[in-house]
Homo-oligomer: A and B are copies of this chain.
Amino acid sequence: MSPSIKDVAVRAGVSVGTVSNVLNHPERVTENTRAAVLSAISTLGFVRNSSAAQLRAGTSRSLGLIVLDLSNPFFHDVARGVEHVADELGYAVVLCNSDDQTARENRYLQVLEEQRVRGVLITPIEVSSDRLDALRRRGTPAVLVDRHDPRVNCCSVAVDDVAGGELAGAHLVAQGHERIVYYSGPPNLSQCADRLTGLRRAVASAGLDPDEAVEVVEVPVMNARSTHDLARARFADGDDTPGAFCANDLMALGVLRAALSTGRRVPGDLALVGYDDIEFAADAAVPLTSIRQPTQQIGRAAAQLLVEECDNPETHAHQQVMFKPELVTRDSTTPE
């Protein structure tokens, strides 16, 4: 078995309390004894048992973060933001990937609660989850990431998707395109629906009729291949709509490839706007105009809200933070 604080105490000729003080309150201990204890620690190779420490202390300094999909750069950046703030404030982050499976999400919530994390950051699969409600009822604060709670029962941090759609729409209209295809994901995803709302709003405020100017194409799986296949079929059928807006960049890359391989010039024949501004957007065959979300900031803000709630449970007031997205213009809409 690995040596305990007791072994260290014996070796250094002091009591266990003193060893603990060296570890946690070095200033309470004399230079000499501290040195003796530290040397005992290193010769024995002592490593503190955090289970015991946390059991006694009753509370941990760690946060749980449950994201939908770590392979999505969006969530990866969010996580980075969270870790950064947590680091600064002396919290550890337990990173969990629910992979869009309710079973996994629930399991992780259970594990995090058993570990007595101070709080949880989560992009839930369903906005209202019994498991999550129970957690919060028992006193573990939670913050929603990239989602809003319809009943405003906890803090949340998200991005204004309507505004994002509006940015894209306004940009396309400003380039003179009066007909736009919107490649959407499943319409029950609020992100997809909101972006469409924004797009239609932009079109309307340019004096066009949204019902005529905007055509919605629902793509079942929001990836490049699936979108490519759909778009290619449309192009083969003679689709010559001059503008396209995609619910994410991967989809836009699919449309781009379909367009180029059917002899269309981008942006000459087709102006294309994506969403998310993923790293590769700038490096695509035609660099992609996209809507950038402040991903790291989302993570940072969420972590700050959570820690604030953990530290001041009584005075805390729930907040719904909403960031604004930003248009990044590249070759896919603006001729060089």
- With A2-B138, A51-B55 as known contacts, state yes or no: A260 contacts B285, CB within 8 Å: yes
Dominant secondary structure at the A interface: helix
Asked if A54 lies at the interface with its beta carbon under 8 angstroms from chain B, I say yes
Residues 63-96 of chain A, each 1 if its beta carbon lies under 8 Å from chain B, else 0: 0000000110100100100010000000010111
Q: Given B76, B116, B224, B283, which contacts A51 in the complex, CB threshold below 8 Å? A: B116
Q: Which residues of B lie under 8 Å from residue A49 when comparing CB positions?
A: 55, 114, 116
Q: Quick check: which of A31-39, A119-127, A251-259 contacts chain B, the rest being far away?
A: A251-259
A92 to B83, CA, bound (A): 21
Q: Given B1, B70, B139, B224, which contacts A2 in the complex, CB threshold below 8 Å? A: B139
A284 to B2, CA, bound (A): 53
Contact status A134-B45, CB under 8 Å: yes
A46 CB → nearest B CB, Å: 10
Contact status A114-B1, CB under 8 Å: no
Asked if A317 lies at the interface with its beta carbon under 8 angstroms from chain B, I say no
Q: Given B51, B110, B254, which contacts A54 in the complex, CB threshold below 8 Å? A: B51
Contact status B280-A224, CB under 8 Å: yes
Q: Which residues of B lie under 8 Å from residue A139 when comparing CB positions?
A: 2
A228 to B284, CA, bound (A): 11
Contact status B224-A283, CB under 8 Å: yes
A60 CB → nearest B CB, Å: 8
Contact status A52-B50, CB under 8 Å: no
Contact status A50-B253, CB under 8 Å: no
Contact status B52-A225, CB under 8 Å: no
Residues 257-284 of chain A, each 1 if its beta carbon lies under 8 Å from chain B, else 0: 1001000000000000000000010111
A96 to B94, CA, bound (A): 8
Apart from the given pairs A94-B94, A225-B282, 17 other A-B contacts in the complex at a CB distance below 8 Å: A45-B134, A47-B110, A47-B113, A47-B114, A47-B138, A50-B51, A51-B55, A51-B115, A55-B55, A70-B70, A71-B76, A95-B95, A225-B283, A254-B283, A257-B285, A280-B280, A284-B285
What are 10 of the A-B contact pairs (CB < 8 Å)?
A47-B114, A48-B114, A52-B55, A70-B79, A71-B76, A224-B280, A225-B282, A253-B280, A257-B285, A285-B285
